[in-house]
Amino acid sequence: MEDCIFCKIIKGELPSYTIYEDEILKVFMNIDPSTNGHLLLIPKKHLVTVLDIDQNFISHALEIIQKKIYPLLKEKLNCEGLTISQNNFYGQEVKHFHIHLTPRYQEDLVEFSYNKEKLLDIEEVYQKLVN
Ligand code: 5GP
Ligand code: ZN
């Protein structure tokens, strides 16, 4: 993809602080981190959302997170947890699939905010989902 910033990072046309890469994926630092060590994990192939991703990629990504990334964040930054998140379509700023790896620390104040006023009754939503 010509004008995709993450494809440019993969090709080396834009700089990035790379933490890990192999033939399938790349892990680099988020330019606008929510916490110290906030990373992005992306496929080297230009894929857009979770609907484009295959199970082999997820399985490989999981192995890299478990064996390399989490231990690194724990050892070097002494994080107390790791929040893994991923936006599709709405809320997705960069249209190249990416997984946020956000190390968590006491009182980091990271939160997923939402509008409670707009929520339907749980029962009503359940009925929509199962009928
Ligand atoms: P999204 O909102 O799409 O889930 O997250 C996109 C993320 O990409 C944002 O957290 C943003 O800080 C990060 N980002 C956007 N442009 C760049 C860039 O050029 N380099 C890096 N390293 N991160 C970027
Ligand atoms: Zn791309």
Mean pLDDT split into 10-residue runs, the chain, 131 residues: 94 98 98 98 98 98 98 98 98 98 97 94 98 97
pLDDT of the residue at 90: 96
pLDDT of the residue at 93: 98
Q: Which residues are catalytic?
A: 98
Contacts of residue 21, defined as CB under 8 A and 6 or more positions apart, other chains included, come to 27, 44
Which atom, in ligand 1's list, is nearest to the CA of 28? 22
CB-proximal residues (5 Å) to ion ligand 2:
1, 4, 6-7, 46, 96
H or E segment to which residue 81 belongs:
strand 81-85
pLDDT of the residue at 1: 75
Ligand 1 centre and the CA of 94: distance in Å? Answer: 6
Ligand 2 centre and the CA of 67: distance in Å? Answer: 26
pLDDT of the residue at 2: 82
Name all domains of the chain by residue range, CATH numbers in brackets.
Answer: 5-130 (3.30.428.10)
pLDDT of the residue at 69: 98
